[in-house]
Amino acid sequence: MVNNYQHVTPAMRERVQRSIDALGYRPNLAARHLRKGRTGIIALALPELGNPYFAELAASVIDAASEHDYIVLLDHTGGSREQELLVSQGFRARVIDGLILSPIELETEDLRDRAEDVPLVLLGEREYDLPYDHIAIDNVAAARAAVRHLIGLGRREVAFIGARRRRSEPAQLRVRGWREELSAAGLSSDEGLVAATDGWGHADGASAMNHILDSGRRPDAVFAYNDPMAIGAMRVLHERGLRVPEDIAVVGFDDVIEGRFGAVTLTSVSPDKTAIGRLAVESVLARLNDQAPEPRRIWADYQLAERESTLGRPAVGAESRSATRLRRGPSPGTRDTPAAGGGGCDTPVSSPGTGFRAAGLAWWRCGRALPRGRDTPAELVVSGATVRADTPERVGAGGVEVPSVAPGVCRGG
C-alpha cells in the first residue's frame, strides 16, 4: 500500500492509511536503497556554484533525483583539472551510486583511464570521444539563433564578448556560431569586435565592453558568452550614456533569473535546464538498473527568450515583453547520437506527436540549421515521410513545420 500497489481495495487502503497516520510511520529510504546494495546518493560536480546558471541547473538535478527517492551530493570543482580528476576517479565512490560531472579542464585521456565503475554522465559542451552518456545543447546553432535574431532586427555590427584567452570549447563554439551566422547574412565577422576575457562574470563583461568602446568601435549589438557578462556590459553602456537597445542591443546566454528582472530585461538563449537535469538523473539510473542503451550524446533543447534588451520597452499600457519560444527541433527537446565513434551527421530523433522545425529562413539537414541558398535541400525525408519546402510561401517567421512522424533520420540534401 505504501508503494502504491494497484491491487489493494479502497477499504483496505483506508484502514492501512489510518494506521500509518496514527503511528506516524515514515518509509525508510536509506533501508530501501541498502536492500539493493545502494546508498541512494548521486553526486553532482559543477565548476562554479556562484554562477546562476549552475545554481539553477543544480536545482533541476535535485528536483529530478527526488522524484526517484535519491538525494544529491554537491561537489564544487572550481573548474580545476586536479579537482575534476579527483571527482571523476571516484574519491567518493563508496558513498555514491552515480556521478554527474560538468568538466571544464579534463581531457579525453583523463577520462579514458578512469577505473571507477560508478556510472558517469557528462554535462556541457566539451567534446569527449568516450563511452559515457553526455548531455549538452548545440552551442553553434544556439549562437547562430541569437545572432540571427539581432540581424533580423537590422543590426549589422555585432560584437562578441567572452571569447576565452585560454582554451575553452564552449566559448570557441559560440564564437564559431557568431562567425557563421554573420557570414551567412553576408556580413563580416570583424575580429576587432571580439573581446577575450579570463573569466565569465559580471566584471569580465563590463571590462570587455569597456575594451571595445575604448578602442573607438561602436557596435550596434552585443552577443555575450553568458548572462552575467551581458548584464555587466549593459551596466557599462548605461554609465556611458548609451541606451539598450536603441543604441546597442544585447543578447546573453543561459537565461538566468536575474536577467528577467533588471531595469532592461535581457534577451537570452535559454537552455532547457529542467530537461538537462532530468535527462542526467535518468541516464544515471538507467545505467544502475542495466536498462541503458549504448552510451549516447543527448542534445537538449533551447529557446531564445526575446525581451527588452533587443525588442525595446513596450508602449505604455501594452503587455510586458515575455519570453518567446522561437526555434529548436525536435520537441520536446532531445535528439541523441552515439557518444563515441559513428561519425557522420547528428541524427534528430522525434517521437509521435512531435515534429521538426526549420527556424526562420533556414532548413534542417541532419539536425543542423542551414542558411537558405543554392545548397539548401528542396525537401526533408523523415522516416519515409517527404516534406517539400521549396517555395518562399512555405517559409515564414516561424519556420517550416514538418508534420509529426515516428522516430527517424533527417536525410535532406
Contact call for residues 204 and 227 (beta carbons, < 8 A): no
Q: Report pLDDT for 254.
A: 96
The residue segments making up the domain with residue 103 are 10-136
Q: How many other C-beta atoms can be found within 10 angstroms of the C-beta atom of residue 259? A: 27
Contact call for residues 402 and 411 (beta carbons, < 8 A): no
Residues 43 and 144 both lie in one domain: no
Q: Grid coordinates representing 331?
A: 520537441
User: Is there a domain that residue 324 lies in?
Assistant: no
Q: Report pLDDT for 306.
A: 96
Contact call for residues 189 and 164 (beta carbons, < 8 A): no
Q: Report pLDDT for 23.
A: 64
**Any idea what the Cα angle at residue 171 is, between residues 258 and 223, rounded to 5°?**
55
The DSSP code for 393 is G
User: Is there a domain that residue 152 lies in?
Assistant: yes
Q: Report pLDDT for 404.
A: 32
H or E segment and range at residue 135: strand 133-136
pTM over 0.85? The answer is no
Contact call for residues 362 and 391 (beta carbons, < 8 A): no
Residues 147 and 68 both lie in one domain: no
Q: Report pLDDT for 276.
A: 96
> 258-309, pLDDT tens digit by residue?
999 999 999 999 999 999 999 999 999 999 988 767 888 899 999 999 999 9
Q: Grid coordinates representing 125?
A: 559542451
Q: Report pLDDT for 234.
A: 98
Of residues 102 and 353, more confidence is placed in 102
Q: How far apart are CA 209 and CA 236, in angstroms?
A: 7
Quick check: 318 pLDDT over 60?
no
Query: How does the average pLDDT of the chain come out, rounded?
Result: 76
User: Is there a domain that residue 75 lies in?
Assistant: yes
Residues 145 and 265 both lie in one domain: yes
User: Is there a domain that residue 29 lies in?
Assistant: yes
Q: Report pLDDT for 10.
A: 78
User: Is there a domain that residue 147 lies in?
Assistant: yes
> 391-413, pLDDT tens digit by residue?
332 333 333 333 332 233 333 33
Q: Of 121, 136, 151, which residue is a domain's last?
A: 136
Q: How far apart are CA 100 and CA 47, in angstroms?
A: 12
Question: Of 188-192, 300-304, 348-352, where does mean pLDDT reach its minimum?
Answer: 348-352
Contact call for residues 233 and 250 (beta carbons, < 8 A): yes
Quick check: 15 pLDDT over 80?
no
The tally of domains found in the chain comes to: 3
Q: Of 270, 303, 325, which residue is a domain's last?
A: 270
Residues 251 and 359 both lie in one domain: no
Quick check: 203 pLDDT over 70?
yes
User: Is there a domain that residue 284 lies in?
Assistant: no
Q: How far apart are CA 79 and CA 354, in angstroms?
A: 37
Residues 255 and 376 both lie in one domain: no
Q: How far apart are CA 342 and CA 346, in angstroms?
A: 10
H or E segment and range at residue 21: helix 10-23
User: Is there a domain that residue 126 lies in?
Assistant: yes
Residues 222 and 131 both lie in one domain: no
The radius of gyration of the chain from alpha carbons, rounded to an integer in Å, stands at 24
User: Is there a domain that residue 375 lies in?
Assistant: yes
Residues 88 and 119 both lie in one domain: yes
**Any idea what the Cα angle at residue 303 is, between residues 271 and 149, rounded to 5°?**
125
Residue type, 209: M
